[in-house]
Chain A
Amino acid sequence: MTADATPALVEDKQQTAAGPRVRKGSAYPRYLAGKVAGAAVSLLAVLVTSFFLFRLIPGDPVKTMTGGRQVSAEQLAAYREEFGLDLPLWRQFTDYCGKALTGDFGTSYQFRAPVVDKITEALPNTLLLTGTAFVLYTVLGIFLGTRSAWRRGGLGDRFNTGLALTLYSIPSFWLGLLLIIVLSVGIGPLPGMFPTGGMESGGEEGFAYVLDVAHHLVLPVVTLVAVEYGQTLLVTRSALLDEMGSDYLTTARAKGLRDDLVRRRHAVPNALLPTVTLIFINLGRTVAGVILVETVFSWPGLGGLFYQALSVPDLPLVQGLFFVFAAAVILMNTLADLVYPLLDPRVAR
């Protein structure tokens, strides 16, 4: 990958393409600036939405907070002041935006702690879970997708695509619940092998702690991988199928290269280009999937926190998490946009 070769190639492309989009100078910095600016605008839009969306709620947030207990009028007023609910809407809005830009999302109703603290507390746990699952389902998806495409129409291909489509139709939370029943609680003679939830048993230290967390990690990761790998498989498969008719593969074969060499050295690297975009977008999508899986397995991450916040509803926390989830997806999409032209210079027009 030579980054310095990119602008030259793009330049060349621009001269041949006579369109309104022709620009002077190297394309990538402009492209980069455009994408980053777009992402910034999207983030601002998310911020504004998160404020107004959660003001739609009928009823008084303070009443929700006190949970129907008998509270004196003075206390209600004190709560209002504490959470800034006594201010006019536009003041609340400017306060919210100003504070959010400095990373302050207010105070959680139910935990009485800053939203940011709750989020930073849960973030590493979510990263551990999604990171592990992400690596596994990407590798598995690409591997099976490649094999499927290479032997298209065969028994293996039909089994792989069929299974991927089926798992894609299964609600992730249901799969998680079943895994808990079968492998944690145990059915009939089958003993429970894995913990039913949480991230650690407590009391372990050092290497034993790592093993313990890994033990707790198995079922949630399996659930996430099962529901997510299918998408990668199907996209890799169709990208490779598109590539397989190409002349350069015929040339490679005509040179007398072995079949698996043609596949590994020529077809797969080219076919993986579209998959790169998908990989990043998937990473963002997993964020939504993780809400359910963490809820089912009581994993102490952002998703589990979101569920706790929804049931109250703890508006500042829901708001903050909504922003984090949306920001993660926007960030991933932007990263995909930024990486892609480095891999395929034709993209940055």
Chain B
Amino acid sequence: MNPDDLIGKLSGPLSLRSRIGNVVALLGGLGGALFIGLLWATEPALPGRTHLAFGVLVALGLAWAGYGVWALTRRTPLFALDRVIAAWLAVVATGLLTAGTIAVAVARGTWVSTAGVLVAVTLAVLAVVILIRARAARAALLRRKGELGG
């Protein structure tokens, strides 16, 4: 097998689109599940079918998040640039989640919605820390590349 054939066979894990797609699946699934779960938990009275629909939506979100985790840990690695892009996506996603949970908390004013805000803020802080670390790691690699004449 020559190198070109090999690169062709490895195109999946090497594709930027597939790596970022997995990040989007993880963040979208997790954020969606948390937000819908919060709406579900803070709604005072719902008919049975609506409970079922919320449950299905939360399960779908968690399934996508689980797929994203599995794909990123087992199938497609994140290189330095991918990590920075993924971290920015996480910052945006958790920012939206925080804004959404704050809106729910203001409207409902229950302890569950306050807890939802705390979870969202925690995730947002985590995303910012990940972004800072990813940028630092990429900068270190770029410095090393420069030292090596690249």
> Do A and B actually bind?
no
**Chain A contacts to B: CB under 8 angstroms:** none
B binding-site residues for A, Cβ under 8 Å: none
